[in-house]
Structure 1
Amino acid sequence: MKKTLLRGLLNVLPLVLSIWLFWSLFESLDKVGNFLFGLFHITELFKGAGFLLILTLLFIAGLLFSVSPIAWLYDFIIRQLMRFPFFKTVYSSINDIASLMSSDNKNKGQQTVLVHQANDSYVIGFIMSDDMPEPLANALPEGDWVPVLFPLSYQIAGVTTLVKREDLTLVDWSFEEAMRYNLTAGISTPKGKSDKNTKEETDILSDS
């Protein structure tokens, strides 16, 4: 009975938490949108009207940022605000996270690799970018160096190590699946592996 309850919890909990998270986000944005409606003395039209307003405003903002003068003005304002240390710290952190989540940055230099260790073991890492900052390039010995990220299990943080490209083994494995495998310390099985194992078990049972 204990195993059955645990199995039910492990299957239902991720779904419930995901729905709760997205619903909370929907409620928060809907309240902000309704607040904007209230500024123009417009009562709540229907549930979700504020959320649709926020999405519309974000879409319009995306169109405006494609116009050079608007983008230049925004960058100018950000550069002025970056003079304040506290704002710079907060903005830079949020901007870095947003950049990681942006689809524009996906598959640009991100490569799953194996790094050979001294005891003949391997560590899974990720080449996040092929661009090496000039200060590091000048400080390192001759060679083709690349930054490799080693994420820590169950954590967003990781260790960035500079490794020679010749010491890396490229792996034909998608960034998303490899990252999920690394962050969960191998608990999260990559897609397709379970099906393969199930098929092998079925073949063994058939042979017996």
Structure 2
Amino acid sequence: MKNTLSRGLTNLLPMVLSLWLFWSLFISLDGLGHLLLDIVELDNTFVGAGFILVAVLVFISGLLFSFSPFAWLYGWLEQQLMKFPLFKSVYGSIRDIAGLMKRDGKPKNQKTVLIKQANGGYVVGFIMNQTAPKPLTDALPEGEWVPVLFQLSYQMAGVTSLVKREDLIEVDWSFEDAMRFNLTAGISAKSITAVNDKKAIKTANSEQDAPADKPQ
């Protein structure tokens, strides 16, 4: 009985929570769209019309940002608002997080690395940028220092440390899979399976490419 309930909860809970989260997001955006429709006195609409309106507006804004005059105007407005300390802190954090979501067409600076600890163990970290800020490098001893993020399990927070590049071990592991591994403290079976599958494919390819032994 206990195992059956546990198995049902384990399988249903992620699906239910995900659907609830996306449904809540849909309702919120739909409500925002209906507020815009009410402004132009189009209140007799179906459920989802507000969501469609918001999606269309976001798409149009994406097209506008491809034009230099609009992008320049938005950049100027952004610089003016960034003069306010509180807005700068909140907006800057949200913008940086949103920047992590847009990875297509950009060099992927976020690399997975291992850092050896004093007790002989290793910690999974992420190179978030290839260079550290100049005020920090000026204060640190000579060497090539890079900012490395150590993700804390079960939360988005983490600790950023400056580590010498020569002390890093780069890992052939995608940022997304390694992040999932860290966030779930290694419980995520998907990230582990992805790594094992990749190793198996590499091993199979190396065996195929290896020259066959000559008959004696």
TM-score band, normalised by the shorter chain?
A: 0.7 to 0.9
Report the Cα offset of residue 148 of structure 1: 0.9
How far apart are the structure 2 equivalents of 1:47 and 1:147? 47
Partner of 2:193: 192
Partner of 2:65: 65
| 1:156-206 deviation per Cα after TM superposition (whole angstroms, max 9, x unaligned) | 11111111111111111111111111111111122526997xxxxxxxxxx
SS in 1 for 2:37: helix
Partner of 2:121: 121
Report the Cα offset of residue 149 of structure 1: 0.8
Partner of 1:56: 56
Partner of 2:161: 161
TM norm structure 1: 0.87
Contact 2:173 2:195 in 1 (8 A): no
Partner of 2:137: 137
Task: Flag structure 2 segments of 5+ consecutive residues without an equivalent.
Answer: 198-216
| 1:6-25 deviation per Cα after TM superposition (whole angstroms, max 9, x unaligned) | 11111101100100110111
Contact 1:30 1:48 in 2 (8 A): yes
Task: Flag structure 1 segments of 5+ consecutive residues without an equivalent.
Answer: 197-208
SS in 2 for 1:108: coil
SS in 2 for 1:74: helix
Report the Cα offset of residue 89 of structure 1: 2.2
Which range moved further: 96-105 or 3-12? Answer: 96-105
Report the Cα offset of residue 99 of structure 1: 1.6
Report the Cα offset of residue 105 of structure 1: 8.1
TM norm structure 2: 0.84
Letter of the 1:192 counterpart: T
Partner of 1:32: 32
Partner of 2:19: 19
Letter of the 1:4 counterpart: T
How far apart are the structure 1 equivalents of 2:194 and 2:177? 11
Letter of the 2:75 counterpart: D
Report the Cα offset of residue 5 of structure 1: 0.3
SS in 1 for 2:124: strand
Which range moved further: 15-24 or 69-78? Answer: 69-78
Contact 2:110 2:128 in 1 (8 A): yes
Equivalences for residues 173-184 of structure 1 within 5 A: 173-184=173-184
Partner of 1:2: 2
> Percent of counterpart pairs with the same letter?
62
Matched, 1:172 2:164: no
RMSD: 2.0
Report the Cα offset of residue 44 of structure 1: 3.4
Partner of 1:43: 43
- Change in Cα spacing, 1:195 to 1:148, as seen in structure 2 (3 Å) is closer
SS in 2 for 1:10: helix
Contact 1:114 1:122 in 2 (8 A): yes
Letter of the 2:119 counterpart: N
Size of the aligned set, in residue pairs, is 196
- Change in Cα spacing, 1:106 to 1:157, as seen in structure 2 (3 Å) is farther
